[in-house]
C-alpha cells in the first residue's frame, strides 16, 4: 500500500462514543448501535503495520467506557460520529462532555463530522491532544507511528496558546488499498437493524457522492467518488460472515450510481452462492426495474430511497434535482418485484410552510412504502442551508 513499516509498536485503543439515550439531542437523533466500520478499517490498518489494537464500541456496550478510563494505551482514538453518522452527526455536546469525563485527554485523539467542521470548538471543548479531520484511515497510521497532530495531512491540534494548528486535508483514501476490515473484533450477536434483522453488519462498496444537495453534510468524505473492486467486497463479505454476520446494510451514499459495478457485484454474489440478506440506500432516479430484479435475486431485501419532500417547489429547493415522478416510478418498481422500501423525508426545511409539510405527508401516503422515516431538517455547518 506504499506505507513504510514502522519498528515502533504502539498500543492503540479505538473507541466508538456513546451519545446516551436511544433518542438524544435537540434534534432527537436515533442512536442505533451499528458496527463502527470506520474504526474497523483503522484497526486493520494498524494491525497490518504491527501495532497493538483494542476496540471498544461504547455505543453497543456502554460499560466498555470504564475499561477505557483505566487503559495504559499509548493512544486513544475516539470516533464522535461513526461512518453511519457522518452525514447526520449528534450535536448534543453536553452528552459528549459526560462521555469523555475522566479520559486521559493528553493521549486522546478525536475524529468525526463534528470536529471536522468545527475543529477549534471541539478541541477546545474536549481538551483532546489532537484531531483527525475527515476520513480517519488517511492519517491513523502516521499518528500511531508517533507523528504529532497538525504536522501531517488531515490532522489538527491546539498550541499552548489555544490557537488552532491545522495541516491541510488529503484528497481521500484509495478504497482499493484498504485491507479487509477487522470484523473479528465484533460480536455480531449484539448488533441488529430493526427492519433487517439480527447479527447485523455494515459494509461499503463506494464512498463519496458527486451530488451537492443543499442539506447534505459531506465534509467527512474526500473530494472524489471512489469504488472498491468487486472481488474485494466479496472477500470482505465472506470474512464478515465467518465472523458471524448474517445481514448487512451498505452505507454507500448512492449505491446504484455505478450500475455496472452493482451489476457485477450482484452477479458475483450469485456466482459465489453467498446467501447474505442486505439493504442499501440510493436515489430513486438511478435504479431501473432490471437492476432491481437482479439486486433482489442477489439478496437485497430492502432499499432506502431519499425522497425528502412531496412538494415540487420544496424538493427543488433541496438542490437534489430529482423529479417526483421518478420517485414514484422507483418505489412502485421495487414494490412490484417484492422488495421492501424505506423512504426518507425531511420536515421543516427553509421557508417550508405547514401546508407543504402536510402535502409531503400525503405524498408519503400515496407512495405507500413499507417504511417511512421523517427527520427534522438540520442546517449543519458548511451546508448551503446553514448559510440561509
Measured at the alpha carbon of residue 129, what is the angle toward residues 381 and 87, in degrees to the nearest 5?
Answer: 25
Q: How far is CA 137 from the centre of its chain?
A: 13
Mean pLDDT of 51-78: 95
Pairwise CA distance, residues 12 & 207, whole Å: 26
- pTM of the prediction? 0.94
In b/e form, how buried is each residue of 127-156, taking b as 16+ CB within 10 angstroms? ebbbbbbbbbbbbbbbbbbeeebbebebbb
Count other Cβ atoms within 10 Å, centred on residue 63. 9
Which among 92, 94, 3 has a CA at the least distance from the CA of 44? 3
pLDDT tens for each residue of 226-266: 999 999 999 999 999 999 999 999 999 999 999 999 999 99
Is the torsion defined by CA of 193, 197, 199, 200 positive or negative? negative
Q: What is the pLDDT of residue 22?
A: 63
Report the SS3 class of residue 344: strand
pLDDT tens for each residue of 279-320: 999 999 999 999 999 999 999 999 999 999 999 999 999 998
Name the strand (E) or helix (H) holding 231: helix 230-242
Pairwise CA distance, residues 202 & 179, whole Å: 16
Amino acid at each position: 500500500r506504499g506505507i513504510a513499516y514502522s519498528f515502533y509498536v504502539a498500543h492503540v485503543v479505538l473507541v466508538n462514543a456513546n451519545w446516551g439515550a436511544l433518542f438524544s439531542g435537540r434534534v432527537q437523533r436515533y442512536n442505533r448501535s451499528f458496527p463502527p466500520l470506520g474504526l474497523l478499517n483503522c484497526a486493520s490498518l494498524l494491525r497490518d503495520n504491527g501495532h497493538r489494537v483494542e476496540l471498544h464500541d461504547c455505543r453497543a456496550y456502554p460499560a466498555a467506557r470504564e475499561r477505557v478510563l483505566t487503559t495504559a494505551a499509548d493512544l486513544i482514538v475516539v470516533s464522535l460520529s461513526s461512518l453511519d453518522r457522518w452525514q447526520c452527526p449528534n450535536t448534543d455536546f453536553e452528552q459528549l462532555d459526560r462521555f469523555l469525563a475522566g479520559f486521559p485527554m493528553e493521549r486522546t485523539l478525536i475524529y468525526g463530522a463534528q470536529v471536522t467542521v468545527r475543529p477549534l470548538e471541539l478541541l477546545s471543548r474536549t481538551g483532546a491532544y489532537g484531531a483527525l479531520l475527515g476520513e480517519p484511515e488517511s492519517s491513523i497510521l502516521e499518528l500511531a507511528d508517533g507523528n504529532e497532530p497538525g504536522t501531517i495531512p488531515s490532522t489538527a491540534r491546539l498550541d499552548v496558546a489555544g490557537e488552532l494548528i491545522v495541516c491541510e486535508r488529503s484528497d481521500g483514501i484509495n478504497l482499493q488499498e484498504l485491507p479487509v476490515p477487522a470484523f473479528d473484533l465484533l460480536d455480531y450477536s449484539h448488533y441488529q437493524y430493526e427492519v433487517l434483522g439480527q447479527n447485523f453488519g455494515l459494509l461499503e462498496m463506494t464512498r463519496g457522492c458527486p451530488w451537492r444537495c443543499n442539506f447534505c453534510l459531506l465534509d467527512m468524505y474526500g473530494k472524489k467518488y471512489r469504488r472498491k473492486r468487486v472481488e474485494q467486497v466479496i472477500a470482505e463479505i465472506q470474512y464478515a460472515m465467518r465472523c458471524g454476520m448474517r445481514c448487512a446494510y451498505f452505507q454507500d451514499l448512492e449505491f446504484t450510481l455505478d450500475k455496472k459495478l452493482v451489476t457485477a457485484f450482484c452477479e458475483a454474489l450469485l456466482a459465489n452462492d453467498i446467501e447474505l440478506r442486505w439493504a442499501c440506500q440510493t436515489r430513486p432516479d438511478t435504479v431501473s426495474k432490471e437492476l432491481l430484479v437482479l439486486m433482489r435475486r442477489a439478496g437485497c431485501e430492502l432499499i432506502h430511497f431519499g425522497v425528502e419532500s412531496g412538494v415540487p417547489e420544496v424538493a427543488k429547493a433541496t438542490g437534489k434535482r430529482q423529479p417526483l415522478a421518478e420517485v414514484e416510478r422507483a418505489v412502485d418498481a421495487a414494490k412490484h418485484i417484492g422488495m421492501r422500501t424505506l423512504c426518507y423525508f425531511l420536515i421543516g426545511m427553509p421557508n417550508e410552510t405547514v401546508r407543504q409539510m402536510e402535502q409531503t405527508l400525503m405524498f408519503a401516503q400515496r407512495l405507500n412504502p413499507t417504511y417511512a422515516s421523517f427527520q427534522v431538517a438540520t442546517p449543519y455547518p458548511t451546508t448551503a442551508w446553514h448559510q440561509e
